[in-house]
């Protein structure tokens, strides 16, 4: 059906937009930014903050542009009149009256959307008397997420992310009037709910009401202890996004500068987590083939995303046996480093503090899970997000943009292109298929790109004919999409032998620990696709594009593990899961 177009005017200029387009979207397409606090595309569209008010000629009063559809030919919109400016300023002042204004010490200072608009509109922060006189306690009980209700502006973006995008509903609105707060049912802590620590609430929040639990002081303490050997491994999507912490445009690869910065912070080893992405594929692809050939539990589901794992334990405990037993690349790295590489380097594993730089707040939870230690040593001691890493570099006075490009340290400086694409939804699936296909076919693949599983769609399906075997695969990102897929599998509507699930929509490139981008960027750019392109570009240009080609992988199996899924590999690189209550 042909789209019906409507001719309109915005500030006197002529435009044509599809029928039903919101005023906010029409203005954005015309290059006019309308301020918003509650609106976040595909997450929260409720017209609550009243900051996006505009005049529509003929309408009664000002209208909220984020929810006002254009359905009338000749609609005239005015976005910058004195009436509009005064109303927006007043609404910002009202929001500030219920907001704790400790901007100097706030983790979101300089990236706070409310702060920006307050400056843009020249508001007086104490124009209205504070609505609340007593501070509410911070929630810090969990390993990953801190909630500060005193900073909350009740925009409900976090609620939209948790309910609408992730389908979890761990948080919601409570009470009425001045007593309204965002919280958990029955005043529980997040740790007592089905929260999966994904952090999508954090990246949706426009202010400093939600943030990750900061572990950077633990790292500084270890770095300043001469008796400790402090090593760090960096996930593929961290290098693809860390530049955003320092003013680079989304889509800028800053691997070399990131490595240089970490070396200047004083780490004894700076390593490439692509290596254990490859190691994961060796174990996981072998596990998949074993299940197919020996009548094991199918479909097998990937286990790299700790947010997804916890979601499965809560919402689909009957499918725990479908989960791959492989640890995540983060945990595999710590395990293999302390058990194998320390001996090669003459380092006492008990002196090691192993750090993981990750895009994911759920990895902080994963560090302390049962089944993530060997020989009474935790696989990973500290997990820090991309944002934490950015703050560490900045506070050390390191000028990130002036750094030269440097390379990861040996002996773990090589990862394949298959490992690089782990950070994008569909990347784990594609990496596994590259290895599994060559094992099944017994020949070298001429084309290694499995493009059917790429892209940011919530659920994707494909099937591949590999010799006499047809492998049916499915990919889902975002736990609401995961639920849709798994219910379809259980009902028989969908069929699959192998499933990849990432907790965050779009995969790790959109993880809860990634640099904060304001709604003005998130509403106009698909960050998932822009960030994922860095990983696919890296894949194309790396000398090895399949996990089993990685020479360090070959070394580890030849000298230590023997073969994938061996007894020693299972002791070090595999884990178990638990059934959790709803």
Kindly tell me if the per-residue pLDDT of 126 is higher than 90.
no
From the options 3.50.30.20, 3.30.2000.10, 3.40.50.300, 3.30.70.20, give the CATH code of 95-212.
3.30.70.20
Mean pLDDT of 10-36: 96
Mean pLDDT of 507-523: 96
| Cα 113–chain centre separation | 20
Please state, in angstroms and as integers, the Cα–Cα distance from residue 336 to each residue in 219, 221, 251, 333, 412, following that order. Answer: 21, 24, 32, 5, 11
Q: Answer whether 433's CB lies under 8 Å from 462's CB.
A: no
Tokens representing residue 371 in the block: 């089944």
Task: Of 411, 423, 446, give the one whose Cα is nearest residue 545.
Answer: 446
pLDDT at residue 31, rounded to an integer: 95
**Residues 516, 566: Cα–Cα separation, whole Å:** 42
User: Using one digit for the tens of pLDDT, what is the confidence trace for 352-372?
Assistant: 999 999 999 999 999 999 999
Please state, in angstroms and as integers, the Cα–Cα distance from residue 14 to each residue in 8, 210, 528, 533, following that order. Answer: 6, 41, 32, 35
Mean pLDDT of 108-121: 96
**Residues 532, 515: Cα–Cα separation, whole Å:** 14
Residue 2: which pLDDT band, with cuts at 50, 70 and 90? confident
Q: Where are the domains of the chain?
A: 5-80, 95-212, 214-582
> Domain 5-80, what fold?
Ubiquitin-like (UB roll) (3.10.20)
pLDDT at residue 177, rounded to an integer: 87
Instruction: Report the mean per-residue pLDDT for the chain.
Output: 96
pLDDT at residue 130, rounded to an integer: 85
Q: Answer whether 244's CB lies under 8 Å from 522's CB.
A: no
**Residues 221, 145: Cα–Cα separation, whole Å:** 22
Kindly tell me if the per-residue pLDDT of 129 is higher than 90.
no
User: Using one digit for the tens of pLDDT, what is the confidence trace for 84-98?
Assistant: 999 999 999 999 999
**Residues 170, 43: Cα–Cα separation, whole Å:** 16
Percent of the chain residues past pLDDT 90, beyond the cut: 95
Considering the entire predicted model, what is its pTM? 0.95
Mean pLDDT of 119-143: 90
Kindly tell me if the per-residue pLDDT of 133 is higher than 80.
no
Domain 214-582 has CATH 3.40.50.1780: yes
Phi-psi region of 373 (alpha: psi -120 to 50; beta: other; left: phi over 0): beta
What one-character DSSP code corresponds to residue 161? I
Task: Of 274, 278, 276, 198, give the one whose Cα is nearest residue 236.
Answer: 274
Kindly tell me if the per-residue pLDDT of 480 is higher than 90.
yes
Kindly tell me if the per-residue pLDDT of 468 is higher than 80.
yes
pLDDT at residue 451, rounded to an integer: 94
pLDDT at residue 582, rounded to an integer: 86
Least confident of 170-184, 250-264, 341-355: 170-184
Mean pLDDT of 116-134: 89
- Helix, strand, coil percentages, rounded to 5, for the chain: 40, 15, 45
Residue 1: which pLDDT band, with cuts at 50, 70 and 90? low
């Amino acid at each position: 059906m042909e789209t019906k177009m409507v001719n309109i005017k915005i500030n006197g200029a002529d435009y044509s937009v599809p029928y039903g387009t919101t005023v906010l979207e029409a203005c954005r397409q015309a290059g006019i930014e309308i301020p918003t606090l509650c609106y976040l595309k595909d997450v929260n569209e409720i017209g609550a903050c009243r900051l996006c008010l505009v005049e529509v000629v003929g309408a009664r009063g000002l209208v909220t542009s984020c929810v006002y559809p254009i359905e009338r030919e000749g609609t005239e919109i005015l976005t910058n009149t004195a009436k509009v400016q005064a109303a927006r300023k007043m609404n910002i002042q009202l929001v500030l009256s219920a907001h704790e204004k400790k901007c100097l010490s706030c983790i979101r200072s300089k990236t706070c959307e409310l702060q920006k608009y307050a400056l843009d509109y020249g508001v007086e922060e104490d124009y209205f008397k504070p609505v609340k006189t007593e501070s509410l306690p911070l929630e810090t009980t969990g390993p990953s997420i801190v909630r500060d209700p005193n900073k909350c502006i009740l925009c409900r973006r976090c609620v939209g992310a948790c309910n609408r995008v992730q389908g979890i509903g761990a948080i919601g609105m409570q009470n009425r009037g001045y007593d309204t707060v965002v919280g958990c049912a029955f005043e529980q802590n997040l740790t007592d709910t089905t929260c999966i620590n994904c952090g999508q609430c954090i990246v949706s929040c426009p202010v400093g009401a939600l943030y990750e639990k900061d572990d950077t002081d633990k790292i500084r303490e270890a770095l300043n202890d001469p008796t400790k050997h402090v090593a760090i491994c960096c996930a593929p999507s961290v290098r693809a996004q860390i530049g955003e912490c320092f003013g680079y445009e989304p889509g800028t690869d800053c691997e070399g500068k990131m490595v240089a910065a970490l070396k200047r912070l004083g780490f004894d080893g700076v390593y490439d987590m692509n290596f254990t992405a490859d190691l994961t594929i060796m174990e996981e692809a072998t596990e998949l083939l074993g299940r197919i050939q020996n009548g094991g539990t199918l479909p097998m589901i990937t286990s790299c995303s700790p947010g997804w794992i916890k979601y499965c334990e809560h919402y689909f405990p009957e499918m725990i046996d479908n989960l791959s037993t492989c640890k995540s690349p983060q945990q595999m790295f710590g395990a293999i480093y302390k058990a194998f590489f320390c001996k090669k380097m003459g380092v006492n594993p008990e002196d090691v503090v192993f750090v993981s730089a990750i895009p994911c707040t759920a990895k902080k939870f994963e560090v302390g899970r049962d089944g993530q230690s060997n020989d009474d040593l935790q696989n990973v001691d500290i997990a820090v997000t991309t944002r934490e890493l950015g703050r560490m570099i900045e506070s050390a006075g390191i000028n990130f943009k002036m750094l030269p490009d440097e390379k990861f340290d040996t002996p773990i400086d090589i990862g394949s292109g298959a490992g690089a694409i782990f950070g994008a939804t569909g990347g784990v699936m594609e990496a596994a298929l590259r290895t599994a296909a060559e094992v099944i076919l017994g020949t070298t693949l001429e084309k290694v790109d499995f493009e059917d599983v790429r892209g940011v769609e919530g659920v994707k399906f494909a099937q591949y004919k590999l010799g006499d075997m047809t492998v049916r695969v499915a990919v889902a990102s975002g736990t609401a999409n995961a639920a849709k897929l798994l219910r379809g599998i259980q009902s028989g509507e969908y069929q699959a032998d192998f499933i990849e699930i990432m907790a965050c929509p779009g995969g790790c490139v959109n993880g809860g620990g990634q640099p904060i981008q304001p709604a003005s960027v998130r509403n106009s750019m698909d960050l998932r696709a822009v960030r994922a392109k860095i990983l696919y570009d890296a894949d194309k240009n790396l000398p090895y594009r399949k996990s089993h080609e990685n020479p360090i992988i070959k070394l580890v199996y030849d000298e230590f593990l023997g073969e994938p899924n061996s007894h020693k590999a299972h002791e070090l690189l595999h884990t178990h899961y638990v059934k959790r209550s709803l």
